[in-house]
Amino acid sequence: MLERLEVQNLAVLEQVALEFGPGLTVLTGETGAGKSVLVDALSLLLGERAEGLVRPGAEALLVTAFFAGKSLSRKVSQGRSTPRIDGEVVSLKELSEEAAKHLAIHAQHAALALYSRKAQRRLLDAQLDPRLLEAYQQAYARFQALLQESQCLEAAARERERKLDILRFQTEEIERARLEVGEEEALRQEAERLRHLEALRERVSAALGLLSGEGDALGLVGQAAREIKTVGRFDEALVPLGQELEGALDALRAVNRELEDYLERLEADPERLEQVEARLAQIERLERKYGAGIPAILEFAQAARRELAELEGAEDRLAQLQMEKEQAWQALLAAGQALSQARAQAALQLSQEASGEIRALGMPQAHFEVGLVPLDKPGPEGLEEVELRFSANPGLPLAPLEKAASGGELSRVMLALALLTGSEAETVVFDEIDTGVGGEAAWQVAERLARLAQQRQVLVVTHLPQIAARAQTHYRVVKEAQGVRVEPVQDEERVRELARMLSGSYSEAALKHARELLGPAP
């Protein structure tokens, strides 16, 4: 609910701060006094253009509205606009969206709550079982998700085939190599031995000559062992040393035998060297492609096999998607048809009821219709758009509401719809609702505004005393030399204002009639 409105330097209004309560609030005043300036102020919060609205001589205009627990403001200066929510600067779109949650304005040149097709659809759908729209939106989301997935898979088909060829080649190349962890080091050692056979043979032969040839180490160590053993009987301290020499002799004999065996096996094998070097070259080529070392190559192959399996599964997924997409499409159409049928029934009922209400509001020849316009393809909200249509008299064809109705007619249509369907906003503003209205129709408009004010906070700019008399809060706009003044009217001042509205005078008859209006409505 709107609790307070502060306006500075807006058109002819220099400064005002107004308090609002629940129920019906009216703004009255002489013709041309600028009663609609407060509607303009609220419209700025809904994103309306601000050109030409800054008071002449002022640097900036500022509008601030306080709703329960929230403040919305907009400052306009030198063509720049600064919107704020609770003091924080936001975009104009954010401000207007937040304001629309609290406020709806119905007037010829203001932000009509039902101008957009989206808002018109919401109005109709509010009369339906919400599960119908939820079921449709779930079906639509399901179909769109499958459609997007299939489109992505189809678009990637050529790239997928190229990638499949590459992955197949890579995995097959690594698998054919039959690599084993540790193999590379063993091959390098074998190649080193095969490349240096002559040096190995020469050096091993020399070592054998030193061990067992002329002046051999074996003979010398054996002789030393015998000498120590011979004298060991004279000194027991020499016995262990003789034993150690005999042990060394046995070790040298063992080494000698192993070197002889090694030398016998050490034969030139050019073919084996060629094989080993070819194998090492193959491993090196794979390392340059897939990673340093056999473990890295094998890890690459494992990852490639996983990716290959995923890509090969994409073809199966695409075929499965086609089936799922067809099922989702049928489910979407079924949910859409159920929603369309419910909308058609609700549209017919609302058309009839709204037409009756509108005719009672001073438009006896008017006709109102909630039309359904089929879409070329299912949309996020259904199989059709909702279009409100209006005709003021039988001689005029039905046309979109915003094009067919004048400001006063629009306001009365909105009043009828708000009574029948409720209002999304907690504060509803009407301007020009009483244009061309008098007699019994004036009472009907006043009665319906009072009825709506029992459900919502209602603000009305009016020149009808029948409406003003039903208000809980009454403000008067007074034109002065320097601009306009907005003042509350109560008690006897309110009687005088109603008298002025009734007859343009403060005669006893007018004052008496005004007091009668302030009693129970006829």
pLDDT of residue 522: 40
Residues 5 and 38: beta-carbon distance below 8 Å: yes
How far is it, in rounded angstroms, from Cα 262 to Cα 256?
10
Question: How confident is the model at residue 403, as a pLDDT?
Answer: 84
pLDDT at residue 20 greater than cutoff 90: yes
Most confident of 3-7, 177-181, 478-482: 3-7
- pLDDT greater than 50 at residue 15: yes
Contact residues for 277 (Cβ-Cβ < 8 A; gap 6+): 191
Question: Predicted confidence band at 86 (pLDDT cuts at 50, 70, 90)?
Answer: very high
Average pLDDT (63-92) is 93
- Per-residue pLDDT band for 63 (boundaries 50, 70, 90) equals very high
Indicate if the pLDDT at residue 277 is higher than 70: yes
pLDDT at 25: 96
Q: What is the DSSP string of 279-313?
A: HHHHHHHHHHHH-SSHHHHHHHHHHHHHHHHHHHH
Q: Please say whether the beta carbons of 507 and 496 come within 8 A.
A: no
Q: Express as a percent the part of the chain with pLDDT over 90.
A: 40
Quote the pLDDT of residue 380.
Answer: 94
Length of the chain: 522
**CA distance linking residue 226 with residue 378, whole number of Å:** 112
Residue 371 scores a pLDDT above 80: yes
What are the tokens at 254? 């063992």
pLDDT exceeds cutoff 90 at 469: yes
- Is the pLDDT higher at 207 or at 15? 15
| Maximum alpha-carbon separation in the chain | 164
In terms of phi and psi (left: phi > 0; alpha: psi -120 to 50; beta: otherwise), the region of 362 is left
CA distance 204 to 513: 138
Sheet holding 367-379, edge to edge: 367-379, 382-391, 399-400
Q: What is the pLDDT of residues 391-436, one digit of tens each?
A: 988 888 999 988 888 777 888 888 888 888 876 789 999 887 887 7
The confidence score (pLDDT) of residue 262 equals 74
| Whether 477 contacts 34, CB under 8 Å | yes
Higher-confidence residue: 496 or 224?
A: 496
Instruction: Report whether pLDDT(201) > 90.
Output: no
Angle at which helices 294-360 and 117-125 pack, to 10 degrees?
A: 80
The number of C-alpha atoms within 13 Å of 164 and in the hemisphere containing its C-beta is 13
Segment 490-516 shows an average pLDDT of 91
Choice between 231 and 28, residue whose per-residue pLDDT is larger: 28
113 has pLDDT over 60: no
Kindly tell me the burial class for residue 351, based on how many C-beta atoms sit within 10 Å of its own C-beta (0-12, 13-18, 19 or more).
Answer: middle
Q: Is the per-residue pLDDT at 520 higher than 60?
A: no
- Residue 204: CB atoms within 10 Å: 15
Q: Residues 196, 199, 205, 211: is their CA dihedral positive or negative?
A: negative
pLDDT mean over 172-185: 76
The dihedral sign for the CA sequence 103, 104, 106, 111 = positive
Q: Are 204 and 262 in contact (CB under 8 A)?
A: yes
Are the CB atoms for 70 and 85 separated by under 8 Å? Answer: yes
pLDDT range class, residue 5, cuts 50, 70, 90: very high
Confidence of residue 521 (pLDDT cuts 50, 70, 90): very low
pLDDT for residue 270 is more than 70: no
HSE-CB at 67 with a 13 A cutoff on CA atoms is: 18
Instruction: Report whether pLDDT(261) > 90.
Output: no
Would you say residue 72 has pLDDT above 80? Answer: yes
Phi, psi of 83 (to 5 degrees): -85, 145
**Token digits for 146?**
């499958």
pLDDT of 437 higher than 70: yes
Average pLDDT over residues 198-223: 67
Average pLDDT over residues 140-150: 93
Provide the pLDDT for residue 111. Answer: 44
Please determine, for residue 115, whether its predicted confidence score (pLDDT) is greater than 80. Answer: no
For residue 480, the cross-strand partners are 483
State the pLDDT at residue 484.
Answer: 85
The three-state DSSP-derived secondary structure of 39-95 is HHHHHHHCCCCCCCCECCCCCCEEEEEEECCEEEEEEEECCEEEEEECCEECCHHHH
What is the reported pLDDT for 95? Answer: 95
Whether pLDDT at 478 is above 50: yes
Q: Quote the pLDDT of residue 112.
A: 56
pLDDT bracket for residue 81 (50, 70, 90): very high
Helices and strands, number each (H, E), in the chain: 17, 15
Q: Which residues contact 44 (CB under 8 A, 6 or more apart)?
A: 50, 53, 63, 74, 76
Give the list of residues 6+ apart from residue 439 with CB closer than 8 angstroms, or none. none
Q: Which residues pair with 77 in a beta bridge?
A: 80
How many C-beta atoms lie closer than 10 Å to residue 519's C-beta?
A: 8
Q: What is the mean pLDDT of residues 153-163?
A: 71
Residue 366: is its pLDDT beyond 60?
yes
Position 62 scores a pLDDT of: 95
126-140, 171-185, 448-462 — which is least confidently predicted? 171-185
pLDDT of residue 266: 66
Average pLDDT, the chain: 84
Angle between helices 157-177 and 270-290 (to 10 degrees): 150
* pTM, 2 dp: 0.64
Q: Strands 457-461, 24-29: parallel, antiparallel or unpaired by DSSP?
A: parallel
Residue 97 burial (C-beta neighbours within 10 Å; 0-12, 13-18, 19+): middle
